[in-house]
């Protein structure tokens, strides 16, 4: 049995039909040929965009010459009111400076420090579900709550129940609902003269979120000065000077960064976890194996992570089949030549984990759920060449290591206690919102194990 794919895969569609489909449901619009192509070109009267699936091309764009392919500003435009000048949106020197300050907070060694907070958030999630045994639940809601809790606990040492944290979480949900489907701009870049608006509601919600985050960072700046700040990610980031200039983030810059940590850190993990739970419900034999493995969590210290191997393999397989960030878009700053084709300056280059992870010419049985593939030769090669859920190169997700602890940990802690079961007619349909989500949520029955 295969996990659900997008609704349909039209073989050949006109660009305009494609764009119409795109508006309804990004993923069902994907023509079959894009899962075989090394490169595909889309032309419009205003610009060209190129989907690249060939590992060597992806290396060129993301790893070897990233400065020649900056992030396309149009794509993330909708996020500006919320994220300001955060590391997710900047390019060039200001982006480099921000990464020099942020990266040390996520270095391998620091993960161990975040681990107790992750366990506490996972346990709180397990406890919250207690009252719902026997019920059918919407899992994206559950995993969003848990992942937001992880971010608040690791960043600011407060649980999601904290008054400000709870308000930020609520406002983010409103903000997300107000957002249009992301990535549409990847193929539909509007000409410069078309004005763009953020709705008043979106701008107002963004302002409120930033104000709330502003309280947290101002309070933290005060505690750092007083020498009473806890040793968490916020303190680490706010006290790390740029090794080149010796300057730390000021409070305003920190608000931009906290906004992206919260957004990038909880939306993505929540999406992957919800799909992982669905896959576990669909493949109960794997669910039982994970539950047995999770007994190691009787002693939940950091060392236990090395024993949650199956859980990591399952989480990785969920990231492959349902990459939370389905596409990333870059722009050419000068003419390029790819696969004997001239690529003009200003073209959009689309790097798509969604297509790459299911690419017919690289993966064995690309649409099958098979967590054991990661120990096969094909799986190992593809993990190196064709698996980029966290992107790749200098702009790789700084939270990748964090997410690969958090995800398997929460998954294992949930399965150790509960069983998740599919419900009749509850097959989720993947669509691209801010991340890959299910069109009508992921509904599963919760049963005591
Ligand atoms: C399963 C979980 C996650 C996935 C799949 C994921 C994926 C990604 C991807 C694909 C990008 C690159 C986007 C682009 O270039 O357009 C990215 C960037 C980023 N992620 Fe994550 N992420 C996850 C979790 C996290 C966590 C837990 C944090 C922080 C706590 C985080 C923080 C960031 C930041 C700050 C960036 C911007 C980096 C830059 O542009 O230099 N992410 N993430």
Q: What is the pLDDT of residue 20?
A: 57
Mean predicted lDDT score pLDDT of the chain: 88
Domain boundaries, the chain: 15-448
- pLDDT over 80 (residue 411): yes
In tens, the pLDDT along 246-289 reads: 999 988 899 999 988 988 888 899 999 999 999 999 999 999 99
The protein residue whose alpha carbon is closest to atom 21 in ligand 1 is: 397
Which architecture does CATH list for 15-448? Orthogonal Bundle (1.10)
Q: What is the pLDDT of residue 13?
A: 54
Top-confidence residue, 189 or 177? 177
Q: What is the pLDDT of residue 198?
A: 59
The protein residue whose alpha carbon is closest to atom 11 in ligand 1 is: 397
Q: Which atom of ligand 1 is nearest to the CA of 394?
A: 41
The protein residue whose alpha carbon is closest to atom 26 in ligand 1 is: 265
Q: What is the pLDDT of residue 306?
A: 95
Residue 117 Cβ inside 6 Å of ligand 1? The answer reads no
- pLDDT classification of 12: cutoffs 50, 70, 90: low
Pocket test for ligand 1, best of 72, 263, 392, 399 (most atoms within 8 A of CB): 399
- pLDDT classification of 15: cutoffs 50, 70, 90: low
- pLDDT over 80 (residue 58): yes
- pLDDT over 60 (residue 318): yes
CB atoms within 10 A of CB 423: 12
Average of pLDDT values for 402-431? Answer: 95
Q: What is the pLDDT of residue 436?
A: 87
Average of pLDDT values for 417-431? Answer: 92
- pLDDT over 90 (residue 300): no
CA atoms within 13 A on the CB side of 420: 31
- Strand, helix or coil at 282? helix
Q: What is the pLDDT of residue 194?
A: 44
Residue 390 Cβ inside 6 Å of ligand 1? The answer reads yes
Residue 389 Cβ inside 6 Å of ligand 1? The answer reads yes
Contact 411, 276 (CB under 8 A): yes
Please give the DSSP secondary-structure letter assigned to residue 131: G
User: What is the CA(270)–ligand 1 centre distance, in A?
Assistant: 13
Residue 32, token pair as written in the block: 């079959």
User: What is the CA(268)–ligand 1 centre distance, in A?
Assistant: 8
Pocket test for ligand 1, best of 264, 312, 326, 357 (most atoms within 8 A of CB): 264
Closest CA to 415 of 373, 371, 446, 442: 446
Residue 403 Cβ inside 6 Å of ligand 1? The answer reads yes
Q: Which atom of ligand 1 is nearest to the CA of 257?
A: 35
Residue 86 Cβ inside 6 Å of ligand 1? The answer reads no
Contact 362, 38 (CB under 8 A): no
Is the entire prediction scored with pTM above 0.85? yes
> Is beta strand 436-438 parallel, antiparallel or unpaired with respect to 430-432?
antiparallel
Q: What is the pLDDT of residue 190?
A: 47
User: What is the CA(396)–ligand 1 centre distance, in A?
Assistant: 7
The protein residue whose alpha carbon is closest to atom 19 in ligand 1 is: 397
User: What is the CA(328)–ligand 1 centre distance, in A?
Assistant: 11
Average of pLDDT values for 347-355? Answer: 93
Q: Report the phi/psi class of residue 333: left, alpha or beta, with left for phi > 0 and alpha for psi in -120 to 50.
A: alpha
Rounded Cα–Cα distance for residues 80 and 323 (Å) = 23
- pLDDT classification of 362: cutoffs 50, 70, 90: very high
Angle at 225 between CA 220 and CA 226, to 5 degrees: 95
Pocket test for ligand 1, best of 268, 274, 406 (most atoms within 8 A of CB): 268
Give the chain's radius of gyration (CA, Å). Answer: 21
CB atoms within 10 A of CB 76: 17
**Which range (13-17, 218-222, 229-233) has the least confidence?**
13-17
Residue 148 Cβ inside 6 Å of ligand 1? The answer reads no
User: What is the CA(370)–ligand 1 centre distance, in A?
Assistant: 25
In tens, the pLDDT along 65-103 reads: 999 999 987 666 677 888 888 999 899 999 999 999 999
Pocket test for ligand 1, best of 397, 401, 409 (most atoms within 8 A of CB): 397
């Amino acid at each position: 049995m295969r996990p659900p794919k997008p609704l349909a895969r039209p073989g050949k569609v006109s660009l305009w039909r494609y764009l119409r489909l795109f508006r309804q449901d990004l993923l069902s619009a994907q023509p079959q040929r894009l899962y075989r192509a090394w490169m595909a070109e889309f032309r419009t009267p205003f610009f060209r965009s190129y989907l690249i699936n060939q590992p060597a091309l992806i290396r060129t764009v993301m790893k070897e010459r990233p400065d020649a392919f900056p992030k396309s500003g149009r794509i993330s435009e909708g996020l500006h009111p919320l994220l300001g000048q955060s590391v997710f949106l900047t390019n060039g020197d200001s982006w480099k400076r921000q990464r020099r300050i942020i990266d040390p907070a996520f270095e391998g060694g620091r993960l161990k420090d975040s681990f107790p907070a992750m366990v506490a958030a996972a346990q709180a999630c397990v406890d919250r579900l207690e009252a719902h045994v026997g019920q059918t639940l919407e899992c994206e809601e559950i995993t969003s709550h848990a992942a937001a809790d992880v971010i608040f606990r690791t960043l600011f040492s407060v649980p999601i129940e904290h008054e400000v944290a709870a308000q930020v979480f609520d406002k983010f949900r409103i903000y997300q609902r107000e957002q249009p489907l992301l990535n549409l701009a990847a193929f539909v870049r509007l000409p410069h003269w078309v004005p763009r608006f953020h709705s008043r509601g979106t701008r107002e919600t963004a302002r409120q979120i930033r104000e709330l985050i502003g309280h947290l960072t101002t309070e933290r700046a005060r505690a750092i000065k007083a020498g009473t700040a806890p040793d968490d990610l916020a303190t680490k980031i706010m006290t790390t000077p740029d090794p080149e200039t010796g300057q730390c983030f000021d409070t305003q810059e920190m608000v931009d960064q906290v906004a992206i940590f919260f957004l990038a850190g909880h939306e993505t993990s929540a999406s992957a976890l919800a799909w992982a739970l669905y896959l576990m419900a669909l493949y109960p034999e794997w669910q039982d194996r994970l539950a047995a493995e999770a007994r190691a969590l009787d002693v939940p210290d950091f060392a236990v992570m090395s024993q949650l191997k199956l859980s990591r393999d399952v989480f990785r397989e969920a990231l492959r089949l349902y990459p939370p960030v389905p596409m990333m878009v870059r722009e050419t700053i000068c003419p390029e030549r790819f696969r004997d084709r001239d690529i003009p300056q200003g073209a959009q280059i689309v790097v798509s984990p969604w297509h790459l992870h299911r690419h017919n010419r690289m993966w064995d049985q690309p649409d099958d759920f098979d967590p054991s593939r990661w120990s096969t030769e094909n799986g190992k090669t593809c993990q190196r060449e064709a698996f980029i859920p966290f992107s790749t190169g200098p702009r790789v997700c700084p939270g990748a290591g964090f997410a690969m602890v958090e995800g398997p940990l929460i998954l294992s802690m949930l399965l150790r206690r509960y069983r998740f079961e599919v419900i009749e007619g509850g097959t989720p349909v993947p669509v691209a919102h801010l991340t890959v989500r299910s069109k009508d949520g992921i509904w599963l029955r919760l049963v005591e194990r």
